[in-house]
Structure 1
Amino acid sequence: MNKKIFYIYLFIPIISNTIFAQVGLGTKGVINYPGILTSEQNNIRFDPGFGYGFFIRHDVYSAADWNLDFRYSAVVSKHSAKLPRSGDTNYKFSDFSVDFIVEFNALKIKGLYSGLALNFMSAVSSNRYISDYSDETLYPSILFGYSYNWAEGFDFFAEFIAGFGSTKAGPEKIPITGPALHLGLTMYISE
């Protein structure tokens, strides 16, 4: 069921023919801390981790004071958690998201934006003492960012993302709620 909802959100812009302006490709580095909260029974918490990602971004609607963009991202990050009876366990998070971004053109500081995202994440554990856990989950996140146009067709950006969810890739449900910092570059390939 979660996959169906994710794919519906993914293909709505394509099916409804909303791509009309700028299209950008990009890459980003990720610092992610999904362990703000702990699990209820064993106080399991994910440690901070690093990762990388790629994305496609395009304009959907432009107005005098704001723009609406869609972004489709794929991010991979590595984390660890201390599980009961097995100790330190490595995790790989594969996160695919559809981001709805609003850029604010009327502000004095150009380049500020915020948005909402729908994330589909796969978490897989790796520990030689126990069998691997895996789970797929759908969760929302919010984002705030700043984009700086340093050359024609190229933007640097920094954004803060807060995700809210949990995964069953463990002996119990483990929260994946917490902040992430994304630093990256967008290259616009069409006008």
Structure 2
Amino acid sequence: MLLEFVRAHTVLAPVAFIPEVKLRQAEEPIALWEATEASGDEQPPPFWAFAWAGGQALARHILDEPSLVAGRSVLDLATGSGLVAVAAALAGARPVVANDIDPLSLAAAAANAEDNGVAVQTLEGDLLDTDDKYGVVLAGDVFYSREMAGRVLPYLRRAAGRGSLVLVGDPGRAYLPEGLVRRATYDVPVTEALESCTQRRTSVWQVLS
């Protein structure tokens, strides 16, 4: 059911900044959001239907430097569309787990993995109070609110303290914390209807314990 909804409301096409990856994206954000709420239940915004700048930067970085993830277990935290998880799998990561609290997001991640011919496991739920260990933890665009930043940063720092490589992609969101190590910066094309611009300078940061 959810997979069918994702496929019916998106168009599969290569991501301009990461042409190695095909992604199911919505052509009209507001119309899609209204469609998700057609059942009468309030739904979160369809973050899963777009290639956000932080995820694009992370995906580009790991595809350009596959040794970061190849042969290692990877968690894509708050996966959204699954773009980063798919890129990690293409770069040789095994296994790759895409996590989100939104079932539609996980359906999108599964659809995008299938469309790109890679294996990605999906995991629904809030992991921010857990301590499972992965070789690499990836997170794109997670510092968009004070509440989210306040919860996700301790989780990422704990993961780094357990020995995980922790990388985040961020286009200068308001709550990006200090003390991160910049690894790369890209000028990423974005959806003007969502970002009020056509390009955002976006960095990949390493989180330390």
Q: TM-score by structure 1 length?
A: 0.25
Q: Of the two structures, which has the highest relative contact order with CA contacts closer than 8 Å and spacing of 6 or more?
A: 1
Q: TM-score by structure 2 length?
A: 0.24
| Higher CA-based Rg | 1
Higher share in strand: 1
Higher share in helix: 2
